């Protein structure tokens, strides 16, 4: 995965997200239902500008590996995915309403974890080691700087 350049920044925003149907019902039981769920989620992501790096539809959960723009919030992305996909999947598969009678396709909870090319230990090491180098100041401001550092 590569770093991206944005108007006022440079970086990468990628998350592993898991969505679970209400009551953990195994609603994605068949190949048609799984294909429809994937198609719906990919369509939402395409429209909203989220990049699907990987997706897996299990019988009772959906794994997503997404990248999105820094102006999008994680909670906003998840809200968009859950809301739109529920409407579209209920429309495509009205029989879901019998199992999920209250009109909620997804459970209220969510799992998410930020993902990158480096580990937390690597970042911690970089920050602690790179900050240990002494700062040298040359010129007339050196004497005035010493009084603040004492």
Catalytic residues: 126
Q: What are the tokens at 42?
A: 């990919």
- CA separation for the pair 7, 17 (Å, rounded): 26
> Could you count the other beta carbons within 10 Å of the beta carbon of residue 85?
20
- CA separation for the pair 2, 130 (Å, rounded): 23
């Amino acid at each position: 995965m590569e770093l991206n350049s944005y108007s006022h920044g440079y970086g990468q925003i990628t998350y592993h997200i898991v969505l679970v149907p209400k009551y953990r019902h195994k609603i994605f039981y068949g190949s048609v239902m799984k294909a429809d769920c994937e198609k719906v989620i990919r369509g939402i992501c395409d429209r909203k500008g989220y990049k699907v790096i990987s997706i897996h539809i299990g019988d009772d959960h959906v794994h997503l590996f997404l990248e999105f723009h820094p102006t999008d919030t994680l909670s906003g992305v998840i809200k968009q995915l859950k809301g739109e996909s529920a409407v579209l999947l209920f429309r495509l598969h009205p029989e879901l309403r019998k199992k999920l009678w209250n009109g909620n396709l997804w459970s209220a909870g969510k799992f998410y974890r930020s993902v990158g090319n480096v580990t937390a230990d690597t970042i911690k090491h970089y920050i602690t080691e790179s900050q240990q180098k002494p700062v040298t100041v040359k010129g007339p401001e050196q004497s005035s700087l010493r009084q603040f550092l004492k």
